[in-house]
Structure 1
């Protein structure tokens, strides 16, 4: 199968420090050298060198964490989806987390422009002792008419396999042509963010503290959260601006790092 961009990366623990043991990329995907914001685990930046996704593009990323590895990953800039006339843009991402590994993945937002069609599928394979933290933001792009929601549709699926069993399936489908304003849809908001934290550190005490922390969320947004049948937390945020969701995700990410790993906040934005 031909890919517009293909990226593979493997992280391993070596002498108490996570290192990138193997990496490969081709096409429009690139990968930066690891940056050690903390001495024990690196941060990597995924780069798209084409400037945006266009009609028929297909991308695939595979990130593997071996036992005990801890990796932070983000993107260099927003994922821009431009007009798709014949075939939708497709993006597939596979994460594999071995025992006691930790992946923190916060890509920049997806921006869907006029007449864009975007299909995203994220598959996670993890162990009971591993931790998966993932934040995703969908936003409408500029259109010539000035109207919002001019993209055709966005479909984002997340499938999480826990000790080999499918334990979480999340499907976000946004199609402006069917109406975006009603209840159980965007309810008047324009931007949506989804945050997943699956970890053995998510206990009843953690959730009680998290519930108190959500009182700090501004009234201008709508935040809802739930717990899956495995130890974890799922958060959905509706807002009118990207930076508002990013700020809330940063607050939650900081809370998780402090409560679960006793580590200081990390700032991943590039500006």
Structure 2
């Protein structure tokens, strides 16, 4: 894709705390990782096949956590008909940032009929942390993108929740070259994060995004039925973007509750859209 060539040309040689680039291709009915490059604090584990034809890759941070001024970049490209599941080895831990916020940029390039399922472990922001995250997706109309993101408050010396300074998370999805979905989540505890229309007393927030031509009205009707089985401990809602897909937002008091709801929705999509069973990604 033109977008990929121009962006990769600018990225290598820049000053990143961690840089990772990966390309997956379909070959004889099986997806393989054809090209991989990483440097700094980022590393890519050897792909494993939880599904016979689809690799699962684990993104690894070898430094133990993100600190003041860190900048990270990840780029993953799926060529035509390639399918891949991506997760992380552990949670993204954001520690105190005195001068500069931690910045994380992720880009995905999805060619025709490719499928990317991206479920990183939660972002945990500790006391006095500042974190900026930007995820950009360039996809063909026949591709499928599934992304689940969880943000949690980390430990603080006082024992209080929401001691981080702020978190800003942006998601941009370009569908056939046109920006079709833009999500901007901004959390700043000192401005009343627990109030109505914000966290409303909950402590964890999850966002699930699905863009796929396979998300039809029939799939959405089945989602309404299984929603009755969602845990009562969570507050959630969903909507549909301007392209075929689904956007879900969840508030809860435990990470596990959000993960359960993600799993139920993910399982429905795999069964209804791909006639495949669930994938279990928990590492513990």
TM-score, normalization by structure 1: 0.99
Alpha-carbon deviation of 1:247? 1.2
Matched residue count? 271
Q: Find the aligned partners of 2:238 and 2:27 in 1 and give their Cα distance.
A: 36
Alpha-carbon distance, 1:199 to partner: 0.4
**1:236, 1:219 → 2: CA distance?**
15
Deviation at residue 42 of structure 1 after TM alignment: 0.5
- Number of the residue aligned with 1:264: 277
**What's the counterpart of residue 253 of structure 1?**
266
2:122 is equivalent to residue 109 of structure 1? yes
2:60 maps to what in 1?
47
After superposition, where does 1:1-271 map in structure 2 within 5 Å?
Answer: 1-271=14-284
Distance 2:81 2:219 in 1: 22
Structure 2 Cα separation of the partners of residues 220 and 17 of structure 1: 40
Report deviation, 1:39.
Answer: 1.2
> C-alpha displacement at 1:181, in angstroms?
1.7
Which whole-Å CA distance do the structure 1 matches of 2:15 and 2:280 have between them? 35
Instruction: Output the aligned Cα RMSD.
Output: 0.6
Distance in 1, matches of 2:283 and 2:231, equals 24
- TM (normalized to structure 2)? 0.95
Structure 1 consecutive aligned stretches of length 4 or more whose deviation exceeds 6 Å = none
Deviation at 1:266, TM superposition (A): 0.5
Give the Cα separation in 1 of the matches to 2:147 and 2:45: 20
Q: Note the C-alpha offset of 1:217.
A: 1.1
What is the CA-CA distance between 1:248 and the residue it aligns to? 1.0
Question: 1:38 deviation in Å?
Answer: 1.2
